[in-house]
């Protein structure tokens, strides 16, 4: 790593955050880290600096990325004791980029508070899971001002491939909620199709291969369909987190006075999985809810 890169902060080094931070470090940027989990050894060995607080990250970095589980986590890291905002008060012109998936309405409030400190704010949630984070192929949905987006875009390019400025603050999070609706409904559809095929006596692996060549083909069928057949539910994106996203969708729908009946159904399937003890499994394990009702698995568990 050279010392000529930007001073970048990264808070939240979980399944997604760790590989995203690593891409920034490999590009030659100076990285300042904070996380409640264990910091990956390779990041520190390659020159990243560990900070004991989020405030410490914000004091040292010019652009601070967040990759956290939920809205309360982001609020605490930004505005709690020793939070990011405390480190921004003397650092006018710094930029906060929240890549978590959280409440769009709360995001607008957070952005205004950061703006009031003389700093910029982007909400930039991602899609692509652990695979996309490791491959630097994430889809990044951004809300904020064009000039701020243009300034941060070269860093987004190190982490993703499909990067779109949707609109103002909060619009990136709205896009991510829409994404999670589509993903959940697709997982539910693939689950039902494979359980149906298996219980009817067809080989679900061959059914999946056949469907991959037709109009039913999808990334969900390709990746998560294979997980359902091979019974590999190690989390890339946990059911518990997808539950949170669908709750945001339904909460927003109530505020907008609209109905999302299929989303509500998918949320109940996720809740069924959690009740069965699969809340920490990959969201492709939603199939277990369908299997439980059918009393028939797509394939035997290993």
Burial of 204 (0-12, 13-18, 19+ CB in 10 A): buried
Report residue 21: phi and psi, to 5°.
Answer: -65, -40
Nearest CA to 188 out of 285, 258, 301 is that of 285
The structure tokens listed for 169 are 């603050």
- Selecting among 86, 94, 176, 244, the annotated active-site residue is 176
SS3 state of residue 131: helix
DSSP states of 144-175: S-HHHHHHHHHHHHHHEEEEEEEESTTHHHHH
Indicate if 176 belongs to the active site.
Answer: yes
Beta strand 138-143 with 160-167 is: parallel
Contact (CB, 8 A) for 263 and 185: yes
Active-site residue set? 176
């Amino acid at each position: 790593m050279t010392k000529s890169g930007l001073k970048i902060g990264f808070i939240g080094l979980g399944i997604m955050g760790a590989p995203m931070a690593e891409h920034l470090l490999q590009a030659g940027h100076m990285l300042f880290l904070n996380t409640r989990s264990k910091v990956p050894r390779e990041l520190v060995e390659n020159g990243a600096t560990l900070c004991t607080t989020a405030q410490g990250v914000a004091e040292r970095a010019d652009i601070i990325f967040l990759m956290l589980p939920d809205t309360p986590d982001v609020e605490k890291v930004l505005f709690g004791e020793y939070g990011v905002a405390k480190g921004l008060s003397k650092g006018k012109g710094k930029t906060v980029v929240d890549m978590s998936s959280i409440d769009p309405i709360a995001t607008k409030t957070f952005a205004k508070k950061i703006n009031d400190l003389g700093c910029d704010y982007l909400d930039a949630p991602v899609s692509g899971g652990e695979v996309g984070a490791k491959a630097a192929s994430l889809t990044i949905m951004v809300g904020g001002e064009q000039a701020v987006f243009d300034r941060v875009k070269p860093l987004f390019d190190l982490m993703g491939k499909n990067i779109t400025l949707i609109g103002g603050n909060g619009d990136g999070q709205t896009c991510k909620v829409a994404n999670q609706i589509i993903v959940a409904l697709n997982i539910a559809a693939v689950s039902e199709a494979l359980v149906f095929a298996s219980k009817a006596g067809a080989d679900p692996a061959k059914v999946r291969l056949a469907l991959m060549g037709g109009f039913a083909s999808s990334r969900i069928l390709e990746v998560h369909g294979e997980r359902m057949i091979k019974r590999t539910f190690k989390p890339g994106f946990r059911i518990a987190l997808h539950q949170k996203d669908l709750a945001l969708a339904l909460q927003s729908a109530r505020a907008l006075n609209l109905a999302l009946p299929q989303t509500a159904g998918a949320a109940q399937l996720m809740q069924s999985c959690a009740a069965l003890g699969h809340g920490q499994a990959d969201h492709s394990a939603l199939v277990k809810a369908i299997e439980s009702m059918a009393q028939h698995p797509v394939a035997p568990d290993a």
